[in-house]
Structure 1
Amino acid sequence: MRYESIAIHGGRMDDREKKAVNYPIYLSSTFAQPSLDQFQEFVYSRGNNPTRSNVENLAAELEDAKYGLVLASGMAATSLVFGLLKQGDKVLINNNVYGGTWRFVSNVFADHGIEYEIVNDFNNYNFDTADSNVKMVFIETPSNPLLEITDIRKVSAEAKRKEILTVVDNTFLTSYFQKPLNLGADIVVYSATKYYAGHSDILAGLVMVNNDELYAKLKFLQNTYGGILSPIDSFLLARGIKTLSLRLDRHQKNAWLVAQYFQQHPAVKNVYYPGLKSHKNHEIQRSQADGDGGVLSIRLNDGWDSKKFIEGLKIFDLAVSLGGVESLICHPASMTHESYALELQNKIGIDNKLLRLAVGLEHQEDILEDISNALKEAKI
């Protein structure tokens, strides 16, 4: 079956007599076993729950992955993957990643004797210069919030040559637009809070993997850490996935129109969206992804006030997160990437003029009209 059909019909099938078309919610912490020498698939819900297993299987099918793990949040998923590291190991990360990931790397790693190094451009990084204790590469592509693109094939191949794991945060595109495992990555992580769930009503995380040994380690950590998704939220995540392709098509269509509008408006100095031919890594994006997603960032010119622009918007809510049906705008320097030191923000380009927009599913004319009116109010 193709993606849209798998999204609706994938996962576990209800094996009860009623044959429900929606997999049931199993609100049970524990499951009775037939005998001491006959334990079943489900024993205790922290280790495994039928409803959670359903959405894990569903997400794995969509990813072309052998295994899927679902967690209580995107950061729970990232933390699970970082749990593979040992004292003395080192991680390479790209220079703009989700603020929560940076907070973990820059604060928690040191307590566990783990090192990290920021790589400004993985596309031109020489892995032969990497320290011998580098065990993992963690990249976001497109990155948050500057929508930079990393060549997954190239980085994965070079990392594999040095026996380094490649982890890709694919939150912005999902498996509908990009499948990093098929491009050579070892592990894919998601904040499923975003596009997979799609309605700003739950937190969830996903980890995808093909390797049996890696899966066994991650499954052990999932059970040990206990940051699992509840049965009700697992059901809601599976429900959101059913319309994922439809929503992403509309998100992307609207984002493309907004990006083009900004590109031609005198108020906007920079537009960061990989779908634009002006994007520095547009060709890499075309080579590895089938779409560009619904997120873009802009930097206003000096003659326009960012605060007034935000306050002038009626459809776009000022809020963190993305991927819901509604349009959101945020100020990365103070809202999503405030954990970055000011010096690092300035070095990367996360300044007070930078704004990130998650374009929703509203009518395109309403979205453009809202932006146009807000820019008029923002003129100094």
Structure 2
Amino acid sequence: MSKIDLNKVRFSTKVVHAGQSFDPETGALSTPIYQTSTFCFETVEEGAAKFSKTIPGFTYTRGGNPTTRALEVKMAAIEGGEDCVATASGMGAVGAVMIAFLKAGDHVVCGDTLYGGTSVVMRTNLAQFGIDVTFVDTSDLEAVKKAFTPKTKLVYFETPTNPLMTVTDIKSISKIAHEKEARVVVDSTFAPPPIQFALKLGADLVLHSVTKYLNGHGDVLGGVVVGTKEDIALIRGNGVTKICGNPPSPFNSYLVLRGLKTLVMRVEKHCQNAMDLAKYLKTVSAVKEVYYPGLESNPFHKLAKEQMNGMYTGIFSFELKENINGMNSFEAGKKLVNGLKIATIAVSLGDPDTLIQHPASMTHSNVPKEIREKSGITDGLIRISVGVEDVEDLIEDFEQSFANL
């Protein structure tokens, strides 16, 4: 067993050691992959005690697995929560939270800018269960206050948002919600620790798609939710192991544990590269605007500096001007992205590789232009997840592509 007092060590040490120690049977340093569906018992009495949870232990991997448990313990320590439950995907985490805390007749106050899958849940699926949702710009505190009803049970938002990087004040929203006896759930996928600690800022639950920065290698689907022991028990029992039935595979849990070992180094590099690239793009004549809260010119910079510990994340968007050498911004955006040699055209984020996409012709191509532009996704908007390559190479890559517009 580990001799480390996790309450006394600093973040980087905690990330490496929390939830993991050498295997007591073999001495293996890495947590073993317990690739099993079921677990055996010496006696009927032992099995009964583990099923009733009067003694600790594992019974069936849908309800718990040693490899996955190591991940959950590590994530609870990283986020500063009491417990964590892991899921097979980020959407598995979202769905399990909704199942655990909402019933017919309840009301949710929800951020108006959401990941596409979450948007379907909020706009379509919850209505099927008789749950009402009000969408607001959660960066507008007065709008949030007005959205509450006597039936509001949950406030849900992402910060920063995709793709314009709008930042919501977690501490202020939590104060408003708690006065109304509502839970606050923050999707912090875009700003994982050590960038942002939602629970420390007052949120009740924080969730992540570990597919992104937490795993960090583009080879896993997964999700986590962190909160109090009581809340996590409800999510695990009512959501993950029952109606959703979506625990992660032990192998995926192992991969995320491996990825988390380098979280601090990776995130620092992502953030620094993003800052340098954003500053460069601000100087390009063809660029209309850069949406990155790390820039002092950004309207959310002051809040982000405090809430995101001065790191600002590794993803941002920028917008091209409407007329570039006779091309409209839609055609220029496509040509710019197609002309890059290092940045890879893809829609995820948090990978070591720099990933870029043109929303108007890709992820939002089926959304009517007038609706798309109301949410700020213009024809010339480009989203980039900055990787860990040498930033000078990335800047040179953009320079050659801009030169060919």
Q: Which of the five TM-score ranges fits, normalised by the shorter chain?
A: over 0.9
Question: In the alignment, what sits opposite 2:278?
Answer: 259
Q: How far does residue 296 in structure 1 lie from its aligned partner after superposition?
A: 0.7
Change (3 A) 1:231 1:175: same
Amino acid at match of 2:344: D
1:48 partnered with 2:67: no
Question: In the alignment, what sits opposite 2:152?
Answer: 134
- Return the alpha-carbon distance in structure 2 between the equivalents of residues 185 and 231 of structure 1: 29
Return the match for 2:19 from 11, 22, 31: 11
Identity %: 38
Between 1:104-113 and 1:198-207, the stretch displaced more is: 104-113
Secondary structure class of the residue paired with 1:70: strand
Question: In the alignment, what sits opposite 1:358?
Answer: 385
Where relative contact order (Cα < 8 A, 6+ residues apart) is larger, the structure is 1
Amino acid at match of 1:288: Q
- Return the alpha-carbon distance in structure 1 between the equivalents of residues 257 and 58 of structure 2: 19
- Return the alpha-carbon distance in structure 2 between the equivalents of residues 339 and 98 of structure 1: 15
The normalised TM-score by structure 1 is 0.95
- Is residue 102–residue 339 contact of structure 1 (8 Å, CA) maintained in 2? no
Q: How far does residue 343 in structure 1 lie from its aligned partner after superposition?
A: 4.3
- Return the alpha-carbon distance in structure 1 between the equivalents of residues 103 and 393 of structure 2: 51
- Return the alpha-carbon distance in structure 2 between the equivalents of residues 59 and 189 of structure 1: 10
Change (3 A) 1:31 1:338: farther
- Is residue 98–residue 145 contact of structure 1 (8 Å, CA) maintained in 2? no
1:74 partnered with 2:93: no
The normalised TM-score by structure 2 is 0.90
Question: In the alignment, what sits opposite 2:328?
Answer: none
1:303 partnered with 2:323: yes
- Return the alpha-carbon distance in structure 1 between the equivalents of residues 190 and 171 of structure 2: 18
Return the match for 2:163 from 133, 136, 145: 145
The aligned runs of 1:242-281 (5 Å cut-off) are 242-281=261-300
**Deviant stretches of 4+, over 4 Å:** 337-343
Secondary structure class of the residue paired with 1:177: coil
- Return the alpha-carbon distance in structure 1 between the equivalents of residues 364 and 206 of structure 2: 22
1:170 partnered with 2:188: yes
Return the match for 2:41 from 19, 25, 33: 33
Amino acid at match of 1:190: H
Question: In the alignment, what sits opposite 1:284?
Answer: 303
1:373 partnered with 2:393: no
Secondary structure class of the residue paired with 2:273: helix
Question: In the alignment, what sits opposite 2:340?
Answer: 313
- Is residue 170–residue 190 contact of structure 1 (8 Å, CA) maintained in 2? yes
Question: What is the CA deviation profile of residues 200-231 of structure 1, one whole-angstrom value per residue up to 9, with x for unaligned ones?
Answer: 11111111112x33122111021112111101
1:192 partnered with 2:210: yes
Change (3 A) 1:120 1:338: farther
- Return the alpha-carbon distance in structure 2 between the equivalents of residues 7 and 204 of structure 1: 18
Secondary structure class of the residue paired with 2:190: coil
Change (3 A) 1:160 1:86: same
Secondary structure class of the residue paired with 1:320: coil
Q: How far does residue 340 in structure 1 lie from its aligned partner after superposition?
A: 5.7
Question: What is the CA deviation profile of residues 78-134 of structure 1, one whole-angstrom value per residue up to 9, with x for unaligned ones?
Answer: 111111211122222222221221122122122111121111243332525522222
1:160 partnered with 2:168: no
- Is residue 139–residue 166 contact of structure 2 (8 Å, CA) maintained in 1? no
**What RMSD in Å do the two structures reach over aligned CA positions?**
1.6
- Return the alpha-carbon distance in structure 1 between the equivalents of residues 289 and 364 of structure 2: 19
Q: How far does residue 15 in structure 1 lie from its aligned partner after superposition?
A: 4.4
1:108 partnered with 2:125: yes
- Is residue 222–residue 248 contact of structure 2 (8 Å, CA) maintained in 1? yes
Secondary structure class of the residue paired with 1:175: coil
Q: How far does residue 140 in structure 1 lie from its aligned partner after superposition?
A: 0.9
Question: In the alignment, what sits opposite 1:215?
Answer: 232
1:229 partnered with 2:248: yes
Change (3 A) 1:71 1:358: same
Q: How far does residue 262 in structure 1 lie from its aligned partner after superposition?
A: 0.9
- Return the alpha-carbon distance in structure 1 between the equivalents of residues 188 and 231 of structure 2: 19
Question: What is the CA deviation profile of residues 257-297 of structure 1, one whole-angstrom value per residue up to 9, with x for unaligned ones?
Answer: 11001111111111111101111111111121211110010
- Return the alpha-carbon distance in structure 2 between the equivalents of residues 333 and 112 of structure 1: 32
Amino acid at match of 2:195: F
> 5+ unaligned residues in a row in structure 2: which ranges?
1-8, 51-55, 325-331
- Return the alpha-carbon distance in structure 1 between the equivalents of residues 25 and 339 of structure 2: 55
Q: How far does residue 371 in structure 1 lie from its aligned partner after superposition?
A: 0.8
- Return the alpha-carbon distance in structure 2 between the equivalents of residues 347 and 8 of structure 1: 43
